Amino acid sequence: MLNRQAMLQHLRTHAPVIAPSMLKCDFGDLHREVRALDAAGFPLLHLDVMDGHFVPNLSYGPMVIRSLRPLTETPFDAHLMISDPARYLDEFLDAGCECVTFHVETVSDPGELLERIRQRDAVAGLAVNPDTSLDAVRPWLDACDLLLMMSVHPGFGGQAFLPEVLPRVREIRELAPDGLIISMDGGISERTIADCAAVGSDVFVAGSAVFDQPDYAAARRSLSAQAASAQVSMEKSG
């Protein structure tokens, strides 16, 4: 497992990062799926944890993640779409997650939980829903390592991308301290990834755009190439 600094360096080295959303994988053969994703060269696995309360769906928890950990050295980002992330935080870290991302909507003081994650030498991530004011995350930009901007309403895979999120990402990129990693999750595909990269996203969580394709490696290369091209254009124009 990578410690916090090594994990941050890993994400920056592999940017643009295409992170398969494991919500869309074949749960009947997780071992095969993980082997295939590793063979395709994905640098991060995005683990969607849902409690049926904060979001209207159930997925999996630390037990499943713990069983996946011996199968791969690829880092894990646990995206906690749960109502009480503080209660279960240590279980996800003990299961082998190098990054834990929780929702700003679920806690009164994100700073305390972000600091707990960093104290465990893991990457501290904060997520925000499309309809939540950015005022909710602005005070915590210096306290988190990764900001996850939801581009769908969380709870189910396969939803359509919400383009109104793009100006929000651009605003956060302009406000963000140097080094903050911005991730986008929801509706990421070959049709949307360039726009996401152009406003400053570094990590792209992709479900159907990976798992509905016959060749995972080809899907990764195509998505990464489009994101990289848009990032270069953004840098030149800036």
- Structural domains in the chain, CATH included, are 4-237 (3.20.20.70)
> What confidence score (pLDDT) does residue 231 get?
85
Q: Which of 202, 150, 161, 199 has the alpha carbon at shortest distance from 180?
A: 202
**How confident is the prediction along the chain (238 residues), in pLDDT tens digits per residue?**
899 999 999 999 999 999 999 988 988 899 999 999 999 999 999 999 988 877 877 788 899 999 999 999 999 999 999 999 999 999 999 999 999 999 999 999 999 999 999 999 999 999 999 999 999 999 999 999 999 999 999 766 667 899 999 999 999 999 999 999 999 999 999 999 999 999 999 999 999 999 999 999 999 999 999 999 998 776 666 5
142 as an active site residue: the answer is no
> What confidence score (pLDDT) does residue 233 get?
72
What's the pLDDT tens digit per position in 123-152? 999 999 999 999 999 999 999 999 999 999
Residue-wise DSSP of 116-137: HHHHTTSEEEEEE-TTS-GGGT
- What 3-state DSSP class applies to 50? strand
Q: Which of 115, 111, 79 has the alpha carbon at shortest distance from 97?
A: 79
> What confidence score (pLDDT) does residue 237 get?
65
195 as an active site residue: the answer is no
Q: Which of 145, 185, 195, 202 is catalytic?
A: 185
